[in-house]
Chains A and B, each alone.
Chain A
Amino acid sequence: MPTAAELIDPATLMRIRSLEFRARIVVEGFLRGIHRSPYHGFSAEFTEYRQYIPGEDTRYMDWRLYARSDRFYIKKFEDETNLRCHFLVDRSSSMAYTSSAYTKADYGSTLAATLAYFLSMQGDAFGLATFDESLADYIPPRNRPGHLRQFMLALEGAPKGRSTNLVTPLSHLAEILNRRGVIVLISDLLAPLEDLGRELGKLRARGHEVYLFQILDPLELKLDFDGPLILQDMETEIDLHVDPQKASTRYLENLNAHLEGIREICTANGIQYQLLSSNESLEFALLEFLNSRSRRSRSSRVHR
């Protein structure tokens, strides 16, 4: 597990203009850290054993089985060419908020790019759908030369969408996806949660794995403003006089209730949920994503 000193500071990372380069830095840094740890082979899903044929690569030899059975067997995995990952990235106006030098959208794009880069290294197919009130851009999952570049290009630029609508894009996505895969939803989820559970449940019912990354700014998590001010909603442009000293308690209650609601939905639908502050290192997100996938694959092997 990489130490805190080895993690890349997001503020420093976001100074890199190229999204692809940023993703590469995170992934390679992460993998360097991972190589020093005992975690191996969790990027793919194990399917079966087969006998060892002399001359084969001994990297996937199961030595424990040899110790038990005195026989040489190779682990066979359901490898990357079968994984289809869809990144659903929120590009609404609220994602353009920031209290630092980079926005939540920059953070979310970098997260999506990092995960996509990782998948592309493994030969997995990945696609992209951006949304605000509805589905905006859609890139089908592939893993061909140039696809990663196209993926990165679609993520660059400031969010131009207006309001956030989670239900319509999920519903639309459910209709166009005809093969099982992985859906990674990256959003701030600052929208009403009605029907969100239903749409997410539909995706789960069709066999998709759903991962939900909620990105919030540190100031959104604490409302730590100095003095009274006039706040303007970035999506509705409504103004509100707010005295943080008086409003913070109620704000945090409402926020926590909202977050709790999201957790309940995810728990009820078997969705992996992670709340990220935009000032957290991206390696954590990547680590959590991989851990989640590893836990899921272990549980599926057990159930088989």
Chain B
Amino acid sequence: MSLLFPLYLLGAAAITLPILLHRRRQRPKERTQFSSLMFLEATPPRVKTRTTIENLLLLFLRCLAFLTLTLCFARPFLPKQDDLAGGMINERVLILLDNSASMRREGLQENLRQQLTERLKQIGDRDRLAVFAFDHEVRPLVEFAEMEGLDQKQRNQLLIERLAGAPSGWGGTHLANAFMAATDSILEDEARVGTQTLQGGRILFISDMQEGDRLDELGTFEWPKNVVVDLEPVEVTSTSNAGLMLAASEQGTLSAESGSTRVRIWNAADSDLEKFRLRWDGDDSKSPEIYVPSGKSRVVSAPERHIPGASTLVLSGDKHDFDNRLHIAPELPRQLNIVYLGDRKETGPSGSLFYLERVFQSNRYLTPRLISLKQLPEPVEFRSEDVHLVIAESPISEVNLDSLKQYLEDGRTLLHILNDADDLGGLKYLCKATVRPEVVSKPVTPDENEFNLIQELDTSHPVLRSFSEPRYRDFTKVHFWKYRPWAEGYFLGESVLARFDNGAPALVELPVGRGSVLVLMTSWRPEDSQLAVSTKFLPLLFSVLEQSAGALSRTSLFTTGEQVPLPQTPQAVAVVRPDGKRFELKPDQEYFARTNNVGLYRLETSEAELTFAVNLPEMESRTSPMNPGRLAQYGVKFAESVPDATTEELKKSQKPFAEIENRQKLWKWLLAAACVFFLFETWLAGRLTRPLTA
């Protein structure tokens, strides 16, 4: 039998303790009643040692228990010859290198390489090794299989080459992702090589270990029992970091007008500096000082822009500038063309156009242009690139039907208001009908002083989704005095989106290619209904416009690693990164994920060029050191303390024995035996001190 930690045998000297206690008389503790103390004088009892040892069995048990426990700590094992044969693997190590934006701080990269070099020296030729780099995503630099058969020199060479091609990125630190990927890789290698040879592994985690690391996903992750983490914090030469982001109330774009942009500046808890300045990129004029205490944040207004088109705010005054730039996409309202086709005589407030002009007003996102056309003998060309919505109130002339049909098949929408006159001819041409409709109904006017209300709404449809909440669904205040009855079932693919309270359809959708026709059975003229003067009119029309023209508002502020949703209308064509690299997009592509750089990205669409900004995640600026206890809370298991150079040789020589002992685990049996001895000793001591009864 051999011992892994023979020095623990010195603890065997502790068996003198029960021997000494055995010989020592106990001071009395319990009182004994006596009839009278009148003849007695106080004599404090002298603790006298016994010259003879009594209860030898008890003493033997106590000594045996101590010795067993001491041997347990010394970790005995039975070495077998084949265990010590060459070819045995010592350890499996996966080095996890932090490549996030916070590692761009001054001196950190040099320190990381230095510390990595030192730690690589401690990994032997027979150890299995892999190296991963991570920020918001994990990138294997060298896998376990690649390192097989390489000696230390070859490994280092390969690692240097791979590291050279993986500089620090701009991503945030998704530590949970990194740990999960590392443990998966270790377990996969364990399964591939076999658990008989080596179980589990060690993750050598080299990072600045900032408090802004993402850990939440570890809460649902079950940490494997044979995998431990060895922390190697990168030495940070200086603290004092501050960062900035747009204030929560901001929309994410810069208004073209002279609006004030508000930003939040925060200062790290370990920062020594508290005074900062904020300016627009390219503007060297001196801006006022901003005071932010350590560990606090403050919302301030950005200085006035003296340079037109400036879109990057720069913070100065701290020691690390990797997170001191905030990119904001300039705001470009979208121009939308809406064509109104109508020949009606009503003008002013009694006509439909009057209300349309008041609905479609410009705002910071949209510049709608309403174009009123009369039905002329000459055809009008409706190009889907130029016209975003067509609203037709009069019967559609035949000369325009072909163009309209193509327009609709390109994915646009036609809002068709049925009038008094028969107007189903155009619809029959545009939409597919089952049979030639025979019935052409006349408009229905309820009895005098009576009206219809809209009762049923299909709020799952995008056009009516804005009315899905109960507080917006109340149409009881909107009276409809006149409507056109609709004979259901004559058009293929027809869907009724809204009905009056008498069950008659109020709004119907008919599909045409990729687009559709929305048929409104009534109008918003005051003689027909109160729709134009209700609160439902504006959201309804904008929903129709959005269905036809695509999203009316869009987010233009993202963080590195975040997926940017691409608009389907207008069609997204390509994305150009701040470094100039162009990425062509597929026609049905929904997201753009290569947001690894910070800065302004250009999104080329079929319609116009859009801009969006990508910045660092806010948490990446939280550079105060993380408490390792946070990792422990998520179930991460740690290795022992990092061995220093003086004990390293000893540990190396013990590695094979450590593996043998770890397999045999004789200490568990010794611990169980010690417990049995202690229990028996306790029982025996109790029996011996019990008073004799008569």
User: In terms of DSSP, what is the predominant structure of the interface of chain B?
Assistant: loop
Which segment, of A81-89, A144-152, A229-237, faces chain B?
A: A229-237
B35/A190 in contact, CB under 8 A = yes
Any chain B CB within 8 A of the CB of A228?
yes
User: What are the interface flags for A218-239 relative to B under an 8 Å C-beta threshold, 1 for contact and 0 otherwise?
Assistant: 0010000101111111111011
Of the residues B34, B44, B694, contact of A231 by C-beta under 8 Å: B34
A239/B31 in contact, CB under 8 A = yes
Any chain B CB within 8 A of the CB of A267?
no
B34/A241 in contact, CB under 8 A = no
B31/A233 in contact, CB under 8 A = no
CA–CA, A241 to B30, complex, Å?
11
User: What are the interface flags for B566-604 relative to A under an 8 Å C-beta threshold, 1 for contact and 0 otherwise?
Assistant: 000000000000000000000000000000000000000
- Which residues on the B side are within 8 Å of A228 (C-beta)? 25, 27-28, 43, 45-46
A243/B34 in contact, CB under 8 A = no
* Known interface pairs A100-B694, A228-B28, A229-B28; A240-B42 also in contact (CB < 8 Å): yes
Give the distance to chain B from A91, nearest Cβ to Cβ, in Å. Answer: 13
Any chain A CB within 8 A of the CB of B1?
no
A234/B33 in contact, CB under 8 A = yes
* Known interface pairs A227-B28, A240-B40, A242-B40; A94-B45 also in contact (CB < 8 Å): no
Which segment, of A2-10, A36-44, A167-175, A250-258, faces chain B?
A: A250-258
B-contacting residues, A176-219, CB 8 Å: 188, 190-192, 217
User: What are the interface flags for B671-694 relative to A under an 8 Å C-beta threshold, 1 for contact and 0 otherwise?
Assistant: 000000000000000000000001
* Known interface pairs A101-B694, A246-B43, A247-B43; A240-B37 also in contact (CB < 8 Å): yes
CA–CA, A238 to B28, complex, Å?
16
A232/B31 in contact, CB under 8 A = yes
B39/A229 in contact, CB under 8 A = no
- Which residues on the A side are within 8 Å of B33 (C-beta)? 97, 231-232, 234
CA–CA, A85 to B418, complex, Å?
136
B45/A241 in contact, CB under 8 A = yes
Any chain A CB within 8 A of the CB of B376?
no
Any chain A CB within 8 A of the CB of B447?
no
- Which residues on the B side are within 8 Å of A238 (C-beta)? 37
CA–CA, A64 to B46, complex, Å?
71
In this complex, which of A217, A236, A241, A242 has the most chain B Cβ atoms within 10 angstroms of its Cβ? A242
A235/B28 in contact, CB under 8 A = no
Any chain B CB within 8 A of the CB of A22?
no
B-contacting residues, A267-287, CB 8 Å: none
A229/B32 in contact, CB under 8 A = yes
Of the residues B28, B36, B39, contact of A230 by C-beta under 8 Å: B28
CA–CA, A238 to B32, complex, Å?
11
User: In terms of DSSP, what is the predominant structure of the interface of chain A?
Assistant: mixed
Any chain B CB within 8 A of the CB of A104?
yes
User: What are the interface flags for B30-66 relative to A under an 8 Å C-beta threshold, 1 for contact and 0 otherwise?
Assistant: 1111111111111111100000000000000000000
CA–CA, A190 to B36, complex, Å?
7
Q: How many A-B residue pairs have CB under 8 A?
A: 91
B34/A251 in contact, CB under 8 A = no
CA–CA, A274 to B37, complex, Å?
22
Give the distance to chain B from A278, nearest Cβ to Cβ, in Å. Answer: 11
A243/B44 in contact, CB under 8 A = yes
In this complex, which of B35, B42, B44 has the most chain A Cβ atoms within 10 angstroms of its Cβ? B35
- Which residues on the B side are within 8 Å of A227 (C-beta)? 25, 28, 45
In this complex, which of A220, A228, A246 has the most chain B Cβ atoms within 10 angstroms of its Cβ? A228
CA–CA, A241 to B27, complex, Å?
10
CA–CA, A75 to B496, complex, Å?
144
Which residue of chain A has its CB nearest to the CB of B34?
A: A231
Give the distance to chain B from A133, nearest Cβ to Cβ, in Å. Answer: 14
A243/B40 in contact, CB under 8 A = no
Give the distance to chain A from B31, nearest Cβ to Cβ, in Å. Answer: 5
* Known interface pairs A243-B43, A250-B41; A235-B36 also in contact (CB < 8 Å): yes
* Known interface pairs A241-B44, A242-B40, A250-B41; A234-B35 also in contact (CB < 8 Å): yes
B39/A251 in contact, CB under 8 A = yes
B42/A220 in contact, CB under 8 A = no
Which residue of chain B has its CB nearest to the CB of A253?
A: B39
A255/B39 in contact, CB under 8 A = yes
B45/A234 in contact, CB under 8 A = no
- Which residues on the A side are within 8 Å of B36 (C-beta)? 94, 188, 190, 233-235
CA–CA, A235 to B38, complex, Å?
11
* Known interface pairs A227-B25, A247-B40; A188-B35 also in contact (CB < 8 Å): yes
CA–CA, A104 to B44, complex, Å?
29
B42/A241 in contact, CB under 8 A = yes
CA–CA, A239 to B38, complex, Å?
12
Give the distance to chain A from B55, nearest Cβ to Cβ, in Å. Answer: 15
- Which residues on the A side are within 8 Å of B44 (C-beta)? 241, 243
B45/A231 in contact, CB under 8 A = no
CA–CA, A182 to B42, complex, Å?
41
CA–CA, A56 to B35, complex, Å?
56
- Which residues on the B side are within 8 Å of A239 (C-beta)? 31
CA–CA, A94 to B39, complex, Å?
14
Of the residues A101, A235, A241, contact of B43 by C-beta under 8 Å: A241
Sorted nearest first, the 8 A-B pairs with minimum C-beta distance are: A228-B45, A97-B35, A254-B39, A94-B35, A190-B36, A231-B34, A243-B43, A233-B37
Q: Which chain B residues have a beta carbon within 8 Å of chain A's beta carbons?
A: 25, 27-46, 694
Q: Which chain A residues have a beta carbon within 8 Å of chain B's beta carbons?
A: 94-95, 97, 100-101, 104, 188, 190-192, 217, 220, 225, 227-236, 238-243, 246-247, 250-251, 254-255, 258
> Could you list some 14 contacts between A and B, CB below 8 A?
A94-B36, A100-B694, A104-B35, A225-B32, A229-B28, A230-B31, A231-B34, A231-B40, A232-B32, A235-B35, A236-B37, A241-B43, A243-B43, A251-B39
